[in-house]
Structure 1
């Protein structure tokens, strides 16, 4: 029994990970990681969440929900920055937790993140498909069978989602440099579109729409909170999904130039830019029209611009927004494939996932992620799983936050002295953990139940395959 528990908690030697990842080309710099982070964080959600959360939970105080969510995300981002600087290896939280806590904890954290990437790839592709078809609607409409996932409004397969997932996979299979160049260009276009909305929207603001800034509290028909600090808190849990993209930066640590400096700057820099854009969009949106006008509105930014008399600007912003969704898909597929590669590298999943091709790219893992993303996004309705993305990521965030306490004593010894350290140690790691826990508790019950089921599946796979393979080795 003692050997059993010793095996479960055995820690991976960071030098072994460094050797296994050494062949992956280090081609990504600070600007690439900032573009990757901004592209993943500032995705579809910036054009939808501010209006939706304002109408359902927070009113004009939706900006406070974004700021509070950003505060929690920022605390965790500091932990991520130190971890990525000290342990610049593929797999982000999965690999880090393997090193500082042991195998079973690394598996739990990595398995939780895997749910995020499987669902997020499908989620973003489906959103891109819906918006792309909306733009084409005046001139061309796909038949229902090819426009919707199986079982949804007569659909069989969302063919656009299939095409975009496969297209991004082909791009990534050619190498990181080409993908980074396209990512950088699309992120610039997307940020320009957001700035265009902010500038034009400022001309249509009415101060009365901000009063009262924090509406009086009452319970919604579905039992959720609206108004007061309760509504702001409910908004935080819903919004937090928008900020989790910085994990996609950390997952690519093994391909970073000068990672001790590059990783912290990429993680923290992208989050700062994202927060400023989210808060600005939220304040402009609720200033243009009363927050209640955004109830059940799937495209509040485009709607607000059209209602304010700017249909051409609305069309331009929405067209660029569709292109910008590719940046989130690129980021999620890059990170997800590196996580799968890490599982295969360690023998926790089939070893073929951990193989690099002649270009030193984990294309086997990319292919598996692509197939799963296509199956989920093209054939199955999955909108109800959106909060499950947040649930899995929050579990990993809690592990990483606590992991700083185990990392710090080893820095400069068997772990590289990082180029960045989390400030206010030992207080800030505890705050990051508690903040993540509070956001997790604010998720709806379906998300918690879903994450519990995913956890049980992961434990079965671990003891049925990964643990046995490691024992046999």
Structure 2
């Protein structure tokens, strides 16, 4: 038993990761990471979830749900910023936990993140598709039902638009990070401008009566979930937490950062601050324009609210830019997800072809697998179901990273460098960050937690049947032991 525990807690040498990732080109600056973070965080969810969560859980207090979620995300982001500054490796939490807790725990954290990226690609693509179809329908363009939605959703067989956009982003990323970053920077500026236009135009249509009561009385929905009161705000936090997961996508690309000690903390924390301001602004304006019940089952509430208030042309412009801007989230998620898959292959934990770079030093094998899985998930599962599943995997990784601070600090200045940014109020804040992430996870729907459990069990089986036997870390240790003898 002792030998098994020693095997599971076998830690990777950080110098090995530094060497393996040295082939990736370090080209990304603070500006690129801010664009990547804002582009990924401020994605499909800002144009969809404020209305949906207001109608289902929180009423006008949906802005409080976004604020509470931002506080939890901010606490975890402090830990992410310090870890990314200390260990700028591809794979973010997977690689960090490998170094500080050991291989098995790194696998669990990475496996949870892998679920996030697989599902997030499908989720963002589905949201983009819904908004694009809403934009084109007034022009008389409509896909056949079979091609307009996920399997079993309003007669749908496959969401064709979602599949096409995933393929287009994969083609862009396959040509390099620099090219993708340039596209990302332009699209993020356009998207933020579209959000600001909505906020300022929407403010002209606000009605004070729509904010009363700001926190509706509590009752249970037909499905057993909470509406109103602090319970409804809490349920809203769990539903919209996925809105803030974009800073993880920044950390996953830290091996491609210029001067990561400074670049990573600024990119992670800066993008989160910008995102919070935008989310809360959109939420307050949206529920002020129309009573929150108007947004029930509405996948494109921003465009709908503008059209209903007599701003049809502006609605079309905002929604068109929003749809184009959603590509930024796909770029961020697919960039980060492919680097995570590459990291698994790099370490031998999944088939080694995933860890191979092409002649341009790009992990395009990993990108191909991510694209295929994202298309399949988007074709099978509807938009609302994907939303909570994204949060489940992310929150598990967030809990690992928060606790990881207690293993990281004693090694800084020894076998790990001293970072330029340190999480404040150590050792108290890591515990608060862990508890915050745990409470948000606990508030997820039963289905999301159940599927997270199934994914975890599948991951453990895969680790013991494949990863533990093919791990390069274990092979190197056996080789070293042989040489020592």
Shared fold (TM-score, shorter chain, > 0.5): yes
Is 134-143 or 262-271 further displaced after alignment?
Answer: 134-143
Map of 1:210-289 to 2, 5 A cutoff? Answer: 210-289=211-290
Q: Pick closer, same or farther for the CA change 1:444–1:378 going to 2, 3 Å.
A: closer
Instruction: Provide the rounded CA distance (Å) in 1 between the counterparts of 2:315 and 2:26.
Output: 40
Range 292-301 or range 80-89, more displaced:
292-301
Contact 2:131 2:300 in 1 (8 A): no
CA contact (8 A) 1:376 1:382 kept: no
In 1, the alpha carbon distance for the partners of 2:246 and 2:39 equals 8
Q: State the 1:296 CA deviation.
A: 2.4
The answer to whether the Cα contact below 8 Å between 2:170 and 2:334 also exists between their aligned partners in 1 is: yes
1:125 is displaced (CA, Å) by 1.4
Aligned pairs for 1:279-358 (under 5 A) are 279-358=280-359
Deviation at 1:308, TM superposition (A): 1.5
Structure 2 residue 44 is matched with structure 1 residue 41:
no
Match of 1:168 in 2: 169
Of stretches 208-217 and 29-38 in structure 1, the one that deviates more from structure 2 is 208-217
Partner-residue secondary structure (3-state), 2:23: coil
State yes or no: 1:19 paired with 2:22: no
Q: Which residue of 2 aligns with 1:406?
A: 407
Partner of 2:29: 29
Q: How far apart, CA to CA, are the structure 1 residues paired with 2:158 and 2:217?
A: 44
Please say if 1:389 is aligned against 2:390. Answer: yes
2:121 and 2:390 mapped to 1: Cα distance? Answer: 10
Measured after TM superposition, the shift of residue 162 of structure 1 is 2.1
Separation in structure 2 between the aligned mates of residue 379 and residue 214 of structure 1, nearest angstrom:
36
SS at match of 2:3: helix
1:247 Cα shift?
0.5
TM-score (norm: length of structure 1): 0.97
Question: 1:186-201 alignment to 2 at 5 Å?
Answer: 186-201=187-202
**Other-structure match for 1:130:** 130
Distance in 2 of aligned mates of 1:382 and 1:301: 17
Once the two structures are overlaid, the 10-residue window that deviates more, 427-436 or 151-160, is 151-160
The 1-side partners of 2:59 and 2:340 are apart by 38
Between 147-156 and 97-106, report the one with greater CA deviation.
Answer: 147-156
Distance 1:45 1:385, change over 3 A: closer
Matching residue of 2:482: none
SS at match of 1:203: helix
The alpha carbon displacement at 1:375 in A equals 2.1
- In the alignment, is the contact (CA less than 8 A) between 2:82 and 2:422 conserved in 1? yes
Task: For residue 22 of structure 1, give the secondary structure of its aligned residue in structure 2.
Answer: helix
Residues 149 and 308 from structure 1, CA distance in 2 versus in 1: closer, same or farther, beyond 3 angstroms? closer
Q: How many residues align?
A: 473
2:468 is matched with: 467
With 214-223 and 352-361 compared, the bigger mean Cα shift is at 214-223
> Following the alignment from structure 1 to structure 2, what is the Cα–Cα distance between the partners of residues 183 and 468?
39
**Segment of structure 1 superposing worse, 106-115 or 227-236:** 227-236
1:6 and 1:297 mapped to 2: Cα distance?
Answer: 52
Q: Which residue of 2 aligns with 1:209?
A: 210
State the alpha-carbon separation in 2 of the partners of residues 411 and 285 from structure 1: 46
CA contact (8 A) 2:242 2:388 kept: yes
What is the deviation of 1:232?
1.0
Aligned partners of 2:175 and 2:3: how far apart in 1?
Answer: 44
Shift of 1:10: 0.8
Which consecutive unaligned segments of at least 5 residues does structure 2 have?
477-485
Query: Offset of 1:380 from its aligned partner?
Result: 5.3
Measure how far apart 1:139 and its partner are.
Answer: 3.0
Tell me which residue corresponds to 2:480.
none
Which segments of 5 or more consecutive residues in structure 1 lack a partner in the other structure?
none
1:61 corresponds to: 61
Task: Return the offset for 1:133.
Answer: 2.5
Structure 2 equivalent of residue 443 of structure 1 = 444
CA 1:301–1:405 in 2, change beyond 3 Å: closer, same or farther? same
CA shift, 1:302, in A, is: 1.4
Asked if the contact 2:127/2:383 (under 8 Å) is kept, the reply is no
Distance 2:385 2:217 in 1: 29
Whether the 8 Å CA contact 1:122–1:374 is kept in 2: the answer is: yes
Task: Describe the superposition over 1:394-441 as per-residue Cα deviations: whole angstroms up to 9, x where unpaired.
Answer: 000000000011001111111111110000101110110000000000
1:357-436 alignment runs, 5 A limit: 357-378=358-379, 381=382, 383-436=384-437
Which position in structure 2 is the counterpart of 1:80?
80
Is the CA contact 2:249–2:336 (under 8 Å) kept in the aligned structure 1? yes
Contact persistence 1:57–1:235 (CA under 8 A): yes
Please tell me whether the aligned partners of residues 125 and 161 of structure 1 are also in contact (alpha carbons under 8 angstroms).
yes
Alignment RMSD: 1.4
Distance 2:470 2:409 in 1: 31
